Amino acid sequence: MKKNIDQIIQLDFSEEMKTSYRDYAMSVIISRAVPDVRDGLKPVQRRILYAMMELGLDPDKPHRKSARIVGDTMGKYHPHGDSSIYDALVHMSQDYSLRIPLVDGHGNFGSIDGDGAAAMRYTEARLSKWAMALLSDLDKNLVAFKPNFDDSEVEPTVLPAMIPNLLINGTTGIAVGMATNIPPHNPDEVIDGTIAYIDNPNISIEKLMSYIPAPDFPTGGIIVNEGDMQSIYETGEGKIRIRAKVEIENGDYGRKNIVVTEIPFTIAGNKSKLMENLSALMKDKVFDEIHDVRDESSKEGIRIVIEVKKDRDVENLLNGLYKKTSLEDTYSVNLLAVKDQQPIIFNLKTLIQEFVDFQVELYTNEYNYLLDKALKRLEIVDGLIKATDVIDLIIEILRGSSSIKQAKTCLMEGKTEGIKFKSKASEKQASSLNFSERQAEAILAMQLSKLIGLEILKLHDEQASLMTSVEKYRKILGSDKELFKVIKTRLREYKKLYHSPRRTQITSVNTKDYVEEIKIEDIYILIDRFGYTKSIDNASYSRISEDNLKEYSYIIQMKNTDNLCIFTAEGYMHQVKAENIPKCKIKDRGTLIHTLCKIENQNIILYTSFEMLFESQLLFTTKLGYIKQVSGAEFETNRSQIISTKLVDNDEIININMLSARDILSGDIKVIILTDNGLSLGFPLSEVSELKKSSRGVKAITLAKDDYVAFVTTVKPDEETFIYQDKVLNARKVRNRKRGDKGHKAQLE
């Protein structure tokens, strides 16, 4: 038991969690999600390309099953599951995902619409011609190798990328606590910018942007915030706004067609979702201008056709589509990459600087390798030429030796013991030989055919060529200027190989708001005694019989662009847009008015359209006898609920009389107030002050404690009667008294 206790390691739980999580986070960052700044590849991508090269899948070789490639990659270098490897393989083959695809796929590798790739057992792949710029000369000791996960193989720590792949193809990755999002760029522009940096390492980012003005996405499109690019390239972070490229064409029956020919890079591989979005906007009538949407895309390119109804504003519709669909999208830039096992945010210049520093290292290793190889070969050629001058002596040594080792020792060190010579002079001459070990081995392996005069001449030519090469290599390695000259020459060659015109346009565009186009027409709002509300167009209303109309308590004629205004006894006015009132047939019940606005338990006393309200004068009278005039223009607001009258002491609005300007100007209108106790009071409307909508009003009548205002009406000078509770009252017999006086008994006609 004591032995087991001694084997227990006690750790602080929080410290162990911190350490383990930190190790996990760094593993995800370095070994999974973030690319190396030198070759621009994530580990899984690098391993796939290296495994394909090991399988001999060069661009001029036949395709091989993707399952074999995935199997070799997983079994030898990347033991993290076949699906992640195959996904990375598919991604590197898609010309709408990478600016220069690194894999040449054969079969169904997905589509820009969003279709997934076929299973790996059905597809085939090989390296693309562009991938060779990342893999060539691996045998020249350009980069270091490391053991794989089980020490059974070795793999390169980085590929000898001779092109700035990170900027050309870009990358996307989500790690722990950070993410990388580097957009693709035009190969010609990036190479020109790299050469410009080599010529002037102090070049500014602004000057670099004359070579690399902005990203160049595989799907084209238009960058519309050109002014933000310098800030993005200087800080390594920012947002790029990309728009689809559209053309306006003439359609059938006088319509115009918006034709989308290029889509934003952010929806590459998900075009079908864009189509679903556009179709939904048309079906839901979010954009009433759209007549039809169809996808006419083919192998020749993208062609999404949006038919616009006749005589509609196409530019205005485009503004709305840019705002509500992914025809305009945002690409978030984050120039994050790994350098020396650390994630760092770079800017445009430092990304190019890291690539150039890597090229110096690669080319130095390459020319050191070539120099060493040339020197070794020169040593052999010098030995062979020297041997042809004493070939008779060498033959005598070989014939007189009892073993190869004895002959080799004689050639290298001049030891003649045990070798039979024809003469002392030959033995003395052999004792002066001092070939190197490499020369001695070449001499011993030399064929007799090399003694032909022509072959000897070839050796002298090779010697001269090797001496020239050695001088050239030493000159390049001894001068930064010469080394950079070689780098620039190679970059220009790659530029010719990868030449591609710019696909993405760059411009500065101010976003314009969409102005909804509505065809103005007359409608009728029908409200029954239960509060069910619906709208009927003018044509349908004209076909309704008078008997059917009797069941509706309120019928308001208004425009479809107007608002329905609702006044309540509690002193509020609510507004409902006519477009929000459901359009129904006469047989449909409609929707409760309480669901269209927040009326809740308030008592509605007046419905009207805002157009009518705006042109009217409103007379408010409360239960406690307060009265005021308010101009309808006072209620012009965008708010759905406003205070129409400020009430106190449990007061409430009894009546709202709407008077037109014509009524008021036509003569002296009389206001008649009736109370619950049967008292009446009349006075001219001109005595009622016009106040603000939120005011309480002024005293209209003096009431007893148990009395309250029950009814208010207005009559013109020529009107003799009015109706209250189905009773006809004589307007002329209502005595005119001063506003605020106590009323007198009303008399029936």
d(CA 190, CA 211): 7
Q: Which residues contact 277 (CB under 8 A, 6 or more apart)?
A: 325, 326
Q: Which parts of 84-178 are beta strand (E)?
A: 103-106, 124-127, 145-147, 154-156, 171-174
- Here the tokens at position 640 are 């759905």
d(CA 321, CA 299): 25
What are the backbone angles phi and psi of residue 689, rounded to the nearest 5°? -70, 145
d(CA 56, CA 161): 18
d(CA 170, CA 181): 7
Return the closest-CA partner of residue 394 out of 384, 459, 463, 436. 384
- The tokens 């001063």 sit on which residue? 738
Pairing of strands 698-699, 626-631: antiparallel
Burial class for 212, CB neighbours closer than 10 Å (0-12, 13-18, 19+) = buried
Return the closest-CA partner of residue 365 out of 156, 144, 138, 141. 141
Strand, coil or helix: 421: coil
d(CA 716, CA 666): 9
Q: For the chain, percent helix, then strand, then coil, each to nearest 5?
A: 40, 25, 40
Cα 523–Cα 525–Cα 529 angle in degrees, nearest 5: 160
Return the closest-CA partner of residue 197 out of 355, 358, 345, 39. 355
Within 10 angstroms of residue 37's Cβ, the number of other Cβ atoms is 24
d(CA 519, CA 516): 10
Residue 197 DSSP one-character state: H
- The tokens 């308030």 sit on which residue? 602
Catalytic residues: 122
- Here the tokens at position 43 are 């580990």
Q: Which parts of 514-614 are beta strand (E)?
A: 522-528, 532-537, 552-559, 563-568, 572-577, 591-592, 604-609
Tally the residues of the chain. 749
